[in-house]
Amino acid sequence: MRRVFLLLLLAVPPWCAAQGVGVRSIRIRSAWGGLAPSLPKPVELTIQRQGDEFFANGERVDSGLAMALVVAMSEAPVARPDAANLGVTEAWLRENVDLTVVRPFKDSTFFQNHEAAYRAAFVDTAYIHAVLPSLFEQRWTDDYPRVEIEVLFDGGESWTVQSTSQWPFLIPWTVRIRQRTFLTFHAGLSRAVARLLPEQAANRDRLLGTSLRSPLATAVLDRMEKTWLEPALARLRPFYTVSRAEITAAHASAYGQDEVNGEPLRENALFVLTRDGFPPSFQDWVILPFREEKVQHVTDYLTAAGRLEDLALSLPWLHGLRRRESPVMYLQFAGGRSFSDKAMRAFAQDMMARGRPELVDLVAGVPDQVALLVVNGVHLVILPDTRAILWRFYDSPANQRPVLRWAREVLSGVPCVTNPAQRELCVGAIISPQGEIMP
């Protein structure tokens, strides 16, 4: 009986090859290249049938493992990533949710502010089924796995499988059987290959899918962010092209919450927008409050945007600068207007320290009518009468080029008292509509 059972194991199933034709050998090559302190050695494993058994490097190989690979190769193609095929069951999700909460993932502000929502989403099978396809869409550099398998049969027939996929399980595989070539996302094939390889073999962990947790966790957070941003995006898209949208705790002199005692920072929704009629490299940089999983003040932005965009683009001297240099320009909105409360406080501190209190009074009377325009890193406060105040600019010893159209020594900038780590110089000069520094 034992001999009959082994012969059945050695025979390829009748629905995928000639009945009774046995496997002669299995050859597996696995290698990885990329950016790493040391590269794993390529593995080439040849498994030969000797009588009723299989051997590799003089050691017996489990016949069941060898034939499991052959059977997996011959199974019907899996057309797309499938949760059940990947082993992503409800039990697996509950077992792994805590294992995803590791550094640097758990240190992100987004995770800390939304941990409960993340945990609920990660164990929701319907949510995960919607997320899974995104794990198999992107590619990256400095990561080049390669696995090739060849199975030879007694009759001379050869089957091959190969993958250079960067994704978990190295799926999809390219399978060539009997003059037929097809792709399959069959994770069972990946596991079958891994179980024949030595434990330290290149790509073995990826073949087993042990790397699945981390990208899945990231994909869950990404979907949460996209879901929460979508209502605001739906209102913005009829008027603007959105080149960037994210929830962020980033902060600067004009927006965001500065760090306080290591506590998680308040988040804002950031949108970078363009539209027909904008000059090249001109954008709206919109920072709106994000509270209770909702983006706020979208209406305030849409109401004020057109008027302030017209103001920012009306400066005659900037027209010439745009023609000559194509500077990067963005009109900032934060806290419901272009010149936010935080910007006003920082501006007041900087101008008082600069000895220009009259500029604070000039802006404080019309905060809703002022535009904050950043041109190549230079902060311009544009007044309703198209005069502009040159507030601050980044100071780099390696870059002594003119600041827009003025020599640095003419501006006599001094270190700003707000955000000193940014190495910015404050000026406090009024620029006429024609681009001249006014007394």
Place of tokens 């396809």: 133
Q: Which of 8-17, 23-32, 46-55 has the lowest mean pLDDT?
A: 8-17
CA distance 387 to 375: 15
Q: Which pLDDT does position 253 carry in this prediction?
A: 80
Q: Is 38 a residue whose pLDDT tops 90?
A: no
Q: Is 10 a residue whose pLDDT tops 60?
A: no
Mean pLDDT of 227-252: 96
Query: Which tens digit of pLDDT belongs to each residue from 63-74?
Result: 999 999 999 999
Mean pLDDT of 168-197: 97
CA distance 119 to 100: 10
State whether the Cα torsion 415-418-421-426 is positive or negative.
negative
Q: Is 20 a residue whose pLDDT tops 50?
A: no
Mean pLDDT of 308-333: 88
* Confidence band, pLDDT 50/70/90 cuts, at residue 104: confident
Q: Which residues pair with 406 in a beta bridge?
A: 403
Q: Which pLDDT does position 282 carry in this prediction?
A: 94
CA distance 90 to 80: 20
Q: Which pLDDT does position 439 carry in this prediction?
A: 80
Q: Is 102 a residue whose pLDDT tops 70?
A: yes
Q: Which pLDDT does position 191 carry in this prediction?
A: 98
CA distance 301 to 338: 9
Query: Which tens digit of pLDDT belongs to each residue from 124-181?
Result: 999 999 999 999 998 999 999 999 999 999 999 999 999 999 999 999 999 999 889 9
Query: Which tens digit of pLDDT belongs to each residue from 329-355?
Result: 999 999 789 999 999 999 999 999 999
Strands 329-334 and 282-291: parallel
CA distance 220 to 212: 12
Beta-carbon contacts of 268 under 8 Å, excluding residues fewer than 6 positions away, are 247, 248, 249, 250, 255, 256, 287, 288, 289, 290, 334
Q: Which pLDDT does position 9 carry in this prediction?
A: 37
Query: Which tens digit of pLDDT belongs to each residue from 385-432?
Result: 999 999 999 887 766 788 898 888 889 889 999 877 778 899 999 999
Q: What angle do CA 81, 161, 60 make, to 5 degrees?
A: 110
Mean pLDDT of 283-291: 95
Length in residues, the chain: 439
CA-based nearest residue to 270, from 333, 220, 329: 333
Q: Which pLDDT does position 324 carry in this prediction?
A: 78
Mean pLDDT of 233-253: 94
Q: Which pLDDT does position 60 carry in this prediction?
A: 97
Mean pLDDT of the chain: 90
Q: Which pLDDT does position 257 carry in this prediction?
A: 80
Mean pLDDT of 199-205: 95
Q: Is 266 a residue whose pLDDT tops 90?
A: no
Q: Which pLDDT does position 259 carry in this prediction?
A: 64
Q: Which pLDDT does position 12 carry in this prediction?
A: 44
Beta-carbon contacts of 129 under 8 Å, excluding residues fewer than 6 positions away, are 83
Q: Which pLDDT does position 21 carry in this prediction?
A: 55
**pLDDT > 90: what percent of the chain?**
74
* Confidence band, pLDDT 50/70/90 cuts, at residue 260: low
Measuring CA to CA, how many Å separate 243 from each of 97, 237, 240, 274, 409?
Answer: 32, 11, 9, 8, 37
